[in-house]
A and B are shown apart, each in its own frame.
Chain A
Amino acid sequence: MSETVLTFAEVKIHLRELQKKYGCSNREFLDDPEVRARVLDEDEFKWEAYLTHVEAMREYEEELHREYLSHVVPPSEHHKDEKDEEKVVAQLALAA
């Protein structure tokens, strides 16, 4: 069994090499059947794989971002909390 972890830098380099080799963009590779027809089978597979990896990474980053945002308290809530704290402090001061 051979197992090699691909890095983002490697994937970007390989994608640039494929674009240069066939003189077309990633979008053209995906959308244009004529472009695709002249891409060698192994290159087609690798091109698809690299694009899938980039997309998977973007989706994962978006997930992380959404997760992060779901735990962030909106500024208005912060402000409200601060006002509540100020009231409590004022009441404590009066009581003293």
Chain B
Amino acid sequence: MSHYQDYKARFESNRTALVVPEDCKPGVPEYHPFLDLIDPHSWDFSWWLRFADKHYIVCHEIWGYRSGRSPLRSYFSFHYGPIVRVDKNGNIERDPSNPLELRICKSNKSCEPSHLHYKKPHPAPHYEQSRVDGLVLNEVDMFQFVKAVFRSRAEKIELDEAMGFTLR
């Protein structure tokens, strides 16, 4: 099985096991393999989840690999916050200055190491790993993020507690 097929199987397995709260409506996961449907050398992925109280989660990932090497997640962004604006088709429109609860992201291309934004959007300072305890930002998994948001909402606790991190 190819890395891409493994990725899809892992996602579907995690999604099947996920207990989704009643007020959450997960969207259709969107896969974009490049050039090849079976064994692409790169692909991108998006998954949106909406809540009845006009909040949302969006998970974006970009993966690639070279022959003989393990796949590398070159970009990810896991975002949770209120919906500020939707377009005429009902799609959520996002702006870097929109309010947010938590966003964890990384971009290899623009040399942005893994960091998080907590409760304050751009241009508030990013919290890089050196200022975050209890969580390895580079290894955060989308289901770890989604489950923490679910737990935070269900138990009415802050997301830092649900994700298990503290900020310096």
Contact = CB atoms under 8 A, between A and B. Distances in A.
B44 A31 contact: no
Contact of A5 (B28, B34, B109): B34
A24 to B, nearest CB: 13
A61 to B, nearest CB: 10
Given A48-B62, A52-B44, A52-B75, A40 B93 contact: yes
A2 B31 contact: yes
Category for how many chain B residues contact A? 35 or more
B41 A56 contact: yes
A77 interface: no
Contact of A6 (B33, B46, B66, B74): B33
Nearest to B33: A5
A1 B29 contact: yes
B64 A52 contact: yes
Contact of A4 (B31, B67, B107): B31
Contacts of A29: 110
Given A52-B44, A53-B42, A63 B66 contact: yes
8 contacts: A3-B32, A5-B33, A38-B96, A41-B94, A48-B74, A49-B32, A55-B64, A56-B64
Interface of B: 8, 12, 28-37, 40-42, 44, 46, 60, 62, 64, 66-67, 74-75, 77, 79, 93-96, 98, 107, 109-110, 122-123
Q: Which 10 A-B pairs have the closest CB atoms?
A: A56-B42, A49-B44, A41-B94, A53-B34, A3-B31, A56-B41, A56-B64, A45-B60, A2-B30, A30-B110
Given A29-B110, A45-B60, A55-B64, 12 more contacts: A2-B29, A3-B32, A5-B35, A6-B35, A40-B95, A41-B94, A41-B95, A42-B93, A45-B62, A45-B75, A56-B64, A57-B42
